[in-house]
């Protein structure tokens, strides 16, 4: 068994299941079967173990589960934080490398901000691939910075993969790492708004409340 998989702390049944998700595409396919966690009983940040138990996830919970599954499959468990203006919602994905190129696994309820094939040379390229899909209902584009790759391995002793408690401390850790700006001040003032058809497509939802 890979050392990373042992350190995550999953039980034999959990590991048996996760080993079936041995490629990024399979991990993404599994995430697509999980309903969105609308947090109807209050905000959550469930560990991968709890996501497997509850069978639902929001974006960061999905990214954490994907990172854990990637670790079991022999990849590094990584996160990529995508940060927007205050009016919009941040997004977190699980990046991975194949033959030196970056891709990402993503849990979202919309037709955009989804899976990325491993075709990007750098993490910045990968982050920028989400820029034109990230806009408000008025068409204004909102993605401003990114952080990553954020390696979860250093938190194995804090049981990020199997904790029964919400992982708010991990969210804080991610917030506090260095983020890289995407736009200059001049670029921010000259952005074209998304077209009406893009806005309409952006409102499509996979799971209903």
pLDDT at site 34: 99
Pairing of strands 143-151, 78-84: antiparallel
Q: How far apart are alpha carbons 37 and 47 in whole angstroms?
A: 13
29-64 pLDDT, tens digit each:
999 999 999 999 999 999 999 999 999 999 999 999
60-65: long-range contacts, CB 8 A cutoff, minimum separation 24 = 60/92, 60/171, 61/37, 61/107, 62/31, 62/34, 62/94, 62/105, 62/106, 62/107, 63/92, 63/93, 63/94, 63/105, 63/106, 63/107, 64/94, 64/152, 64/160, 64/161, 64/167, 64/170, 65/31, 65/107
13 pLDDT exceeds 70? Answer: yes
pLDDT at site 1: 53
Q: How far apart are alpha carbons 37 and 35 in whole angstroms?
A: 6
Q: How far apart are alpha carbons 209 and 35 in whole angstroms?
A: 10
165-177 pLDDT, tens digit each:
999 999 999 999 9
3-state class (DSSP) for residue 90: coil
Q: Which of 25, 29, 22, 33 minimizes the C-alpha distance to 55?
A: 33
pLDDT at site 18: 98
What is the H or E stretch that residue 79 is in? Answer: strand 78-84
Q: How far apart are alpha carbons 10 and 16 in whole angstroms?
A: 9
86-145 pLDDT, tens digit each:
999 999 999 999 999 999 999 999 999 999 999 999 999 999 999 999 999 999 999 999
């Amino acid at each position: 068994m890979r050392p990373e998989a042992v350190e995550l702390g999953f039980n034999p049944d959990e590991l048996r299941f996760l080993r079936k998700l041995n490629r990024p595409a399979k991990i993404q396919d599994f995430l697509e079967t999980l309903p969105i966690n609308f947090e109807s009983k209050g905000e959550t940040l469930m560990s991968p173990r709890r996501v497997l138990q509850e069978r639902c996830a929001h974006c960061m919970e999905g990214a954490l589960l994907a990172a854990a599954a990637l670790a079991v499959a022999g990849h590094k468990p990584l996160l990529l934080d995508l940060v927007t203006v205050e009016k919009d919602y941040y997004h977190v994905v699980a990046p991975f490398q194949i033959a030196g190129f970056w891709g990402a696994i993503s849990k979202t309820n919309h037709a955009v901000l989804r899976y990325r094939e491993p075709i990007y040379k750098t993490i910045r390229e990968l982050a920028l691939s989400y820029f034109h899909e990230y806009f408000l209902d008025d068409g204004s584009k909102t993605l401003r910075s990114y952080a990553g790759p954020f390696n979860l391995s250093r938190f194995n002793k804090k049981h990020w993969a199997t904790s029964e408690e919400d992982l708010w401390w991990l969210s804080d850790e991610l917030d506090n790492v260095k983020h890289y700006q995407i736009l200059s001040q001049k670029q921010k003032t000259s952005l074209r708004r998304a077209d009406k058809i893009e806005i309409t497509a952006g409102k499509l939802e996979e799971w209903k409340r």
